[in-house]
């Protein structure tokens, strides 16, 4: 069982649901948080699938985990969680940046 692909696919599904809820079920700041979270989560779910196909599982895991941390903290705040949770969001962003750097390093080594 390829857990990276499974979790990346579920991450993409969650992103679609969050984006749809943001577009049709909220407004204002909550809508923006849902939109931003969905956008980042979807991009990184797709990139995690690409990384998995490349055999770059380490970066793929960072994309899935970082996307989840980044997006879920925004989703939670949109649904009423305390705003201090926004201080956790950059941890996810840092993981995403690390994933991109690791993917670049992996590709450079493979050339």
Asked if residues 41 and 13 have their Cβ atoms less than 8 Å apart, the reply is: no
Give pLDDT tens digits for 58-110: 999 999 999 999 999 999 999 999 999 999 999 999 999 999 999 999 999 98
CB atoms within 10 A of CB 28: 8
pTM of the model: 0.94
CA 27, 30, 32, 37 dihedral sign is negative
Give pLDDT tens digits for 8-65: 999 999 999 999 999 999 999 999 999 999 999 999 999 999 999 999 999 999 999 9
Q: Is the pLDDT of residue 111 over 90?
A: no
Rounded Cα distance, 72 and 55, in Å: 27
Phi (first) and psi of residue 81, to 5 degrees: -65, 160
pLDDT score recorded for residue 110: 82
Residue 108's Cβ-count burial label (10 Å; 0-12, 13-18, 19+) is: exposed
């Amino acid at each position: 069982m390829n857990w990276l692909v499974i979790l990346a696919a579920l991450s993409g599904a969650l992103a679609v649901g969050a984006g749809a809820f943001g577009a049709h079920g909220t407004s204002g700041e909550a809508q923006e948080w849902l939109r931003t979270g969905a956008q980042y989560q979807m991009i990184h779910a797709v990139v995690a699938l690409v990384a998995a196909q490349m055999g770059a599982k380490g970066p793929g895991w960072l994309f899935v985990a970082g996307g989840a941390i980044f997006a879920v903290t925004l989703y939670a705040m949109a649904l009423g969680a305390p705003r201090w949770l926004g201080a956790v969001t950059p941890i996810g962003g840092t993981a995403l940046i690390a994933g991109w750097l690791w993917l670049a390093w992996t590709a450079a080594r493979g050339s």
